[in-house]
Chain A
Amino acid sequence: GAVVSQHPSWVICKSGTSVKIECRSLDFQATTMFWYRQFPKQSLMLMATSNEGSKATYEQGVEKDKFLINHASLTLSTLTVTSAHPEDSSFYICSALAVTSYEQYFGPGTRLTVT
């Protein structure tokens, strides 16, 4: 149990376009999901906290207009990278907080490459 999926697993897009990444909790409900970014050989950096039915909370330095987060249901959160640039190329990982245990389960990540 406690499986989190992400789609797509990798994506290549052109500079200036937008990309949507989905995060789903497959067998549990999550009122809270988190979005992280990880650059090569670095740790996970929290970008934002996504709460079902309300606005996301962004960490300092993360542009909310560039990284749009929607958490429309208890099992799905989406991250849209708008007007992507090469510097947005990174590994994006989501995690879901199980409402019953309050443990965080991580997705497999999405590799974004902006050309």
Chain B
Amino acid sequence: GQQLNQSPQSMFIQEGEDVSMNCTSSSIFNTWLWYKQDPGEGPVLLIALYKAGELTSNGRLTAQFGITRKDSFLNISASIPSDVGIYFCAANSGGSNYKLTFGKGTLLTVNP
């Protein structure tokens, strides 16, 4: 089946540092999404990407939809303690089912 390879698995950074994480796949996807999940909560959508090559920002977050449609990255600039959480990439291959495939997540810890 389709799989998303998300890396790194975890990151420990100092407050103020920039962070980068990415997802790759051997399959082509039409939509890439990035979610953040806090403990005991559902995922919250951060950024949605719909076109190959698209670069989108949401505050301190920037994400790109790879030109090959097989990868995406998420950057967080000037990290703050509330950025702590698990970040998931997700992708949809198109068609009418709208099912999402999720990466395994990146656990981010920010030391104040």
User: A residues near B, CB below 8 A?
Assistant: 4, 6, 32, 34, 42-46, 49, 91, 93, 95, 97, 102-109, 111
Say yes or no: A109-B40 contact (C-beta < 8 A), given A44-B102, A49-B99, A104-B98: yes
Report Cα–Cα, A105/B48, bound state, in Å.
12
Q: Does B42 contact A (CB under 8 A)?
A: yes
Measured CA separation A102–B33 after assembly (Å): 13
At the interface, is chain A mostly helix, strand, loop or mixed? strand
Q: A43-B103, A109-B40 are in contact. List 14 more A-B contacts (CB 8 A).
A: A34-B99, A43-B102, A44-B43, A46-B99, A46-B100, A95-B100, A97-B98, A103-B45, A105-B45, A106-B45, A107-B42, A108-B42, A109-B41, A111-B40
Docked pose: A44 CA to B105 CA in angstroms: 9
Contacts of A43 in B (CB 8 A): 88, 102-105
A104 to B35, CA, bound (A): 11
Structural contact, B88 and A108, CB atoms closer than 8 A: no
Q: Which residues from chain A contact B41 at a C-beta distance below 8 Å? A: 108-109
- A49 proximity list for chain B (CB < 8 A): 97, 99
Closest CB of chain A to B72's CB: distance in Å?
16
Nearest CB in chain A: distance from B29 CB, A: 14
Of A42, A97, A106, A111, the residue contacting B43 (CB under 8 A) is A106
Residues of chain B within 8 A (CB-CB) of A111 are: 40
Closest B residue, CB atoms, query A57: B97
Could you say which residues of chain A place their CB within 8 Å of the CB of B103?
Answer: 43
Cα-based distance from A109 to B40 in the complex (angstroms): 7
B44 contacts partner chain A, Cβ-Cβ < 8 Å: yes
Residue from A6, A102, A108 within 8 A of B98 (CB atoms): A102
Given contacts A43-B104, A43-B105, A103-B45, is CB(A32)–CB(B40) below 8 Å? no
